[in-house]
Amino acid sequence: MRKEFNINQHRDPNIHYRGINASRLDNLTDAVFGIAITLLIFNLSNPNSFDNLLTFTKTLPAFLISISIIILIWNEHLRFSEIYTLNNFKLGVINLLFIALIIFYVYPLRFLTMFLTNFFFQTDIDVSIQFDQVPHLMIYYGFFAFAIYFVIYLFYYQAYKIRETLCLSEYEIFYTINQKKRLLIMFTVPLISIALTFILYQFSFIWASLVGGVAYNLYTPLIIIWKRKYTKQLKLFKESLPE
């Protein structure tokens, strides 16, 4: 899967891709993502009757959302490993932490998406949670979302620290620094959601649930701002390079 994805992917000609050939650690990580998707499938209701079949069909939105998020995270890991490789002890340790989080992330992700499917589509999927427990669910999910993107940030942080060992070019160093800035946004937004949920829960679990969820909309303007700054800085950087 990784090989076929790499073949059809556009590559930056200014970057030297050190990990195009997947290592055993890459293969292990891909296998863990495969297990995560399998867990999403096998935790869906088993249609033993027509009513169960209808309920099973109603889980489709939750499943599609969950698997899309898992694939986005897998793509983050793929992009890092194919540029920098994981052939470093500290990067390997970070990767072990990463794959452990992925397995544990499946369950809060599935539970949250099933709950949201019930809430927005008025389905009758069996999800047992009281409304005053929703803020706790938001905090629980937010912690795992923060942890995963923080670990991905650590990948780039470590790559920058060993930039001389990796023989990163000036362009690759520039790219690494800006990816760190992007990932700072990615793990800060869940922290903001957690903080707002925790504070508002003291006054109203309804507002805590609503604001905690809406906080994730911060991703859109923040990433747009990051992208514009990155594009502008990239143009200036390329102009400063000797011809």
Per-residue model confidence (pLDDT) at position 175: 95
- pLDDT tens for residues 136-192? 888 988 999 999 999 999 999 999 999 999 899 999 999 999 999 999 999 999 999
High-pLDDT (> 90) share of the chain, %: 42
Q: What's at 100, amino acid-wise?
A: A
- pLDDT tens for residues 198-210? 999 998 988 998 9
Structural domain count of the chain? 1
Can you list the pairs that 6-12 forms with residues at least 24 positions away whose Cβ atoms lie under 8 Å?
Answer: 6/78, 6/82, 12/175
How many of the other CB atoms lie within 10 Å of CB of 55?
17
Q: Between vectors from CA 60 to CA 56 and to CA 62, what angle results, nearest 5°?
A: 110
Name the pLDDT band for 243 (thresholds 50, 70, 90).
low
Query: Higher pLDDT residue, 78 or 9?
Result: 78
Average pLDDT, the chain: 85
Per-residue model confidence (pLDDT) at position 157: 96
DSSP annotation string for 126-171: -----GGGHHHHHHHHHHHHHHHHHHHHHHHHHHHHTHHHHT--HH
Domain of 143 in residue numbering reads as 2-240
What share of residues in the chain are helix, strand, coil (percent, to 5)? 80, 0, 20
Handedness of CA 104, 156, 213, 142 (dihedral sign): positive
High-pLDDT (> 70) share of the chain, %: 85
Query: Which helix H or strand E contains 90, and what residues bound it?
Result: helix 89-121
What is the C-alpha to C-alpha distance for residues 59 and 225, in angstroms, rounded to an integer?
A: 35
Name the pLDDT band for 123 (thresholds 50, 70, 90).
low
Per-residue model confidence (pLDDT) at position 48: 67
Per-residue model confidence (pLDDT) at position 24: 80
Say whether pLDDT at 239 is over 90.
no
The residue-averaged pLDDT of 23-42 equals 82
- pLDDT tens for residues 58-84? 777 777 888 888 899 999 999 999 999
